[in-house]
A and B are shown apart, each in its own frame.
Chain A
Amino acid sequence: MVMIKQKNYYGVMGFAAALAFVVQGLSGSPAAAAEYPPLGPLPKVKAQNPDQVELGKMLFFDNRISGNADRACVECHIPSKGWADGKDLSLGYPGTEYFRNSKTIINAVHAKYFYWDARLDGKDMPTQVRDSMTESHFMAGDGRIMHQRLKNIPEYVAMFKKVYNNESSFGRILNAISAFERTLVSRNVPFDKFIEGDKGAISAQAKQGYDLFTGKAGCIRCHNGPMLTDSNAYNLGVPHNPKIVSEVRRHITMRSMMMFLGVPAYHRLQKDPGYFVVTKEYKDFGSFQTPSLREASRTAPYMHNGMVPTLAAVVDFYNAGGGDHKDKSGMLKPLGLSASEKKALVAFLETLSGDPINIEVPKTSLPKYKAIPNWLTKKN
């Protein structure tokens, strides 16, 4: 239900490793972009019920669906920060701090797996919403309490009635937020126009970047398909973010989550196990799911721990053959890109962002709690 299918995964890994071998020129033939799922425009999304989307939007901005009514989804997925949060490591629930970078939720509807460690199935968005809303490190909400809180907010009562012809429930809350998130997709993306035939949609420099992406730089080996990700997990040797240990709340949060996810010796953990939580194979320790590159220009800093500050730095990182780690993926080798080639790659990456999605529901505009009149005779 949740995990990457292991058989498939190893199959793809083996294939990719073989190709990497080819790319390094040891057998003499250059990498062929055609062997990877082509980059392409985003698939169409099913239209959502607009009333449900409206309800989900309000809930997304409403702090009262968290445990202590002090966190809203929007605090780590901020519209002006590309629906990520602009921090290296994201906020976490009050009393805790998180140990990974917040990912954008734009295009999450197309994700194959959720989270950096790919622990949730992309086809099941309400479960991802549930995870974010209830886990002790995110919003620590209690579905039963949030449901009862909403019943004391007449505007929500009316909206649930309209959308579901029923009262609120935890499941309906999750479905409404999921409906809203499904509408958050990139629009007017220069690269998508280009790939659909509008050759003038991106600059010549970006086109050069595209050729490098699919050729010399080999980015396409992992960043492929319409979402520019193969959804597999790799160890890139991204430098360790020392804050996950030196800031005790982050260390506590990481160990707490790993305890919950069944990582052995969680109490002594110093590094983020990443995809290991899914496979429990030590070779996957420190591997993370390839992220989509759509909207990347708006979601700095980068990598699972926010250790790379800009897109230029990301290109430099790969140009150097990734980081320094004994389990680093064999696909990473120095690329020998020139300064102008690196700039071209960044120019290409910038074409992957669509129009900014500016949606705001200010806290002050959220409907207020109201006491239920005739309390003693009113049905709960």
Chain B
Amino acid sequence: MNYRKTHLKKMLGAISVAAMAAVLFSGQAMAETVTKGGKKFVKVDGELFPALQALTPPGIPKDNPQSVDANGWPIWEDPKVQLGYKLFFEPALSGDGSVPCVTCHKPDEGWSLSSSISRGYPGISHWLNSQTILNTANLGKLFWDGHKLSLEAQAPSAAQGLSGNGKSDMMEQRLYQVPEYRKAFKAIFGSDRNMVKDSWRAIAAFERAMNTPETPFDQYMRGDKGALSADQVRGLKIFEGKGRCIMCHNGPLLTDEKYYNVGLPDQPQFWDDPIKQAGHRSQMYSRGQPEYMFRKTNTHPGVYLSTHLKQDIGKFRTAPLRHLEYTPPFMHNGMFDDLEAVIDFYNKGGDKDRTLRDYGIANKTKRLKKLDLTDGEKADLLAFLESLSGDEHLLPTPKLPAPAVMTATESTFSRK
């Protein structure tokens, strides 16, 4: 508690100096920090936004417990986490036994995928950019359109949908054929008869243990003033002020988990790749839109797929920003290959409103304005964004247990 108070004072001091400097240089109003109800907020355009914070330990759901250390961080050696680690790499958890979770969330690609649009199951394509699984524990909404509300619900949605095409009965029996899994599930979940559902729990526990709380940004936020370089600190001020980033990327997760149309350009891969077209359409088809909408959704309508509210067309959940350095390309349609392009995009206030173009509904967020960042400010902002990444989080491929012939002695069918 103490270090936070000290830190707050220093922050306030820094901000007011920065604010004054900004006023002097650009003539624009800068953000100020406000404490309200014991919580810190940053004021932009007269609106309050949750202040940035160091990563907090994950909440552990009551129906999927896992062990945590004294500070509340999941313990890596927890057998459930270790089982989830294996299952994350387990190809048995897919339709044709070729697409484990790790296929689209690769350790050396920031636990995401370095292609603009994620690959789908063989023979079809995904329709969105793959996101990192790191630091996802406290997200309340998963996927770009936020349609799954827990890690336990996200995993099967990916493994059984267009990404994995896994069928639960087959996956269940594939796992059951592996003695080591039967033993592990029995020990961890008390049963080896519900292995697929329990797999999603184990994978979620593994993902909850996949955090990067030691980034320079997090250390800085916990009070280590030396953790950020001078340009990174300047970048942080721009993030909270002139850059207006904090209006959406705020709080400990650097996302407000709300939905916005930021006026992204169209992903041209959909124009000339028949498989991407088919993948996009089949997803639009199976998500249950009214037909008149399905017929014209040639770009992803975002959270509209869940709400069916016209004003939601083209809105996507604000992306969290940790581990960013390792997860290009960026945006839901992977339109930007590097962070410079992202900064340039926001610097010009986003692009045209495609929802207006395609549906006659103007809903591009008013928060985006021309920022007039100087090259130096852009460089500072970039330096700050890099401080959110820290060291690359790599893990070796685990050794997967092998299936074994099940003989009559261990499994005989008894007649009545």
A interface residues (Cβ-Cβ under 8 A, vs B): 64, 66-70, 93-96, 136-137, 140, 142, 144-145, 147-149, 151-152, 245-246, 248, 251-253, 255-257, 259-260, 265, 267-271, 282, 285, 369-372, 375-380
Are A257 and B403 in contact, CB atoms less than 8 angstroms apart?
A: no
Considering only CB atoms and an 8 Å cut-off, how many residues of chain B contact the other chain? 55
- What separation, in Å, do the CA atoms of A376 and B95 have in the docked complex? 32
Are B173 and A93 in contact, CB atoms less than 8 angstroms apart?
A: no
B360 at the interface (CB under 8 A from A): no
- What separation, in Å, do the CA atoms of A376 and B277 have in the docked complex? 11
From known contacts A95-B96, A271-B413, A370-B274, infer whether A147 and B282 are also in contact, taking CB-CB under 8 Å: yes
Are B98 and A142 in contact, CB atoms less than 8 angstroms apart?
A: no
User: From A283, which residue of chain B is reached at the shortest CB distance?
Assistant: B415
Are B284 and A142 in contact, CB atoms less than 8 angstroms apart?
A: no
- What separation, in Å, do the CA atoms of A271 and B413 have in the docked complex? 8
B interface residues (Cβ-Cβ under 8 A, vs A): 91, 94-98, 121-124, 162, 165, 167, 169-170, 172-174, 176-177, 193, 266, 270-275, 277-279, 281-282, 284-286, 294-299, 358, 403-408, 411-416
- What separation, in Å, do the CA atoms of A239 and B99 have in the docked complex? 37
Since A68-B165, A256-B170 are in contact, a sample of 8 more A-B pairs with Cβ atoms closer than 8 Å, ordered by chain A residue number, is A67-B165, A246-B405, A248-B403, A265-B413, A267-B411, A268-B412, A270-B406, A376-B266
Say how far B89's CB is from chain A's closest CB, in angstroms. 16
Enumerate the 10 nearest inter-chain pairs by beta-carbon distance, A residue then B residue, closest first.
A69-B123, A95-B97, A136-B167, A268-B411, A369-B274, A95-B96, A148-B282, A68-B122, A152-B274, A256-B173
From known contacts A152-B274, A251-B405, infer whether A69 and B95 are also in contact, taking CB-CB under 8 Å: no
User: From A270, which residue of chain B is reached at the shortest CB distance?
Assistant: B408
Select which of A70, A369, A380 is within 8 A of B298 by beta carbon: A380
Are B282 and A371 in contact, CB atoms less than 8 angstroms apart?
A: no
Are B277 and A375 in contact, CB atoms less than 8 angstroms apart?
A: yes
Select which of B174, B176, B279, B415 is within 8 A of A267 by beta carbon: B176
Are A251 and B406 in contact, CB atoms less than 8 angstroms apart?
A: yes
Say how far A43's CB is from chain B's closest CB, in angstroms. 38
User: From A268, which residue of chain B is reached at the shortest CB distance?
Assistant: B411
Say how far A348's CB is from chain B's closest CB, in angstroms. 38
Are A245 and B413 in contact, CB atoms less than 8 angstroms apart?
A: no
Say how far B166's CB is from chain A's closest CB, in angstroms. 8
Are A70 and B174 in contact, CB atoms less than 8 angstroms apart?
A: no
- What separation, in Å, do the CA atoms of A178 and B194 have in the docked complex? 37
Select which of B121, B123, B298 is within 8 A of A64 by beta carbon: B123
CB contacts (< 8 Å) of A379 on chain B: these are 295-296
Say how far A271's CB is from chain B's closest CB, in angstroms. 6
Are A252 and B174 in contact, CB atoms less than 8 angstroms apart?
A: yes
Select which of B96, B177, B284 is within 8 A of A248 by beta carbon: B177
- What separation, in Å, do the CA atoms of A379 and B406 have in the docked complex? 53
Are B406 and A375 in contact, CB atoms less than 8 angstroms apart?
A: no
Are B413 and A140 in contact, CB atoms less than 8 angstroms apart?
A: no
From known contacts A95-B97, A145-B162, A380-B296, infer whether A372 and B277 are also in contact, taking CB-CB under 8 Å: yes
Count chain B CB atoms within 10 A of each CB in A95, A152, A379 and give the residue with the most.
A95
From known contacts A68-B123, A379-B295, infer whether A145 and B278 are also in contact, taking CB-CB under 8 Å: yes
CB contacts (< 8 Å) of B286 on chain A: these are 144
27 pairs, CB–CB < 8 Å, chain A vs chain B: A68-B95, A68-B165, A70-B123, A93-B95, A95-B97, A95-B98, A96-B96, A140-B96, A142-B165, A148-B279, A245-B406, A248-B404, A252-B174, A255-B176, A256-B172, A267-B176, A269-B413, A270-B408, A271-B413, A285-B415, A369-B275, A369-B278, A372-B274, A375-B271, A376-B358, A380-B296, A380-B298
- What separation, in Å, do the CA atoms of A282 and B415 have in the docked complex? 7
User: From A252, which residue of chain B is reached at the shortest CB distance?
Assistant: B173
Select which of A70, A140, A149, A269 is within 8 A of B167 by beta carbon: A140
Are B272 and A371 in contact, CB atoms less than 8 angstroms apart?
A: yes
- What separation, in Å, do the CA atoms of A282 and B416 have in the docked complex? 8
CB contacts (< 8 Å) of B405 on chain A: these are 245-246, 248, 251
Say how far B159's CB is from chain A's closest CB, in angstroms. 13
- What separation, in Å, do the CA atoms of A151 and B281 have in the docked complex? 10
Say how far A123's CB is from chain B's closest CB, in angstroms. 27
Say how far A119's CB is from chain B's closest CB, in angstroms. 15
Select which of A67, A148, A370 is within 8 A of B95 by beta carbon: A67
Are A371 and B95 in contact, CB atoms less than 8 angstroms apart?
A: no
Are B173 and A152 in contact, CB atoms less than 8 angstroms apart?
A: no
Select which of A94, A137, A380 is within 8 A of B97 by beta carbon: A94
CB contacts (< 8 Å) of A265 on chain B: these are 413-414
Are A259 and B172 in contact, CB atoms less than 8 angstroms apart?
A: yes
User: From B411, which residue of chain A is reached at the shortest CB distance?
Assistant: A268
CB contacts (< 8 Å) of B193 on chain A: these are 267
Count chain A CB atoms within 10 A of each CB in B95, B162, B173, B278 and give the residue with the most.
B173
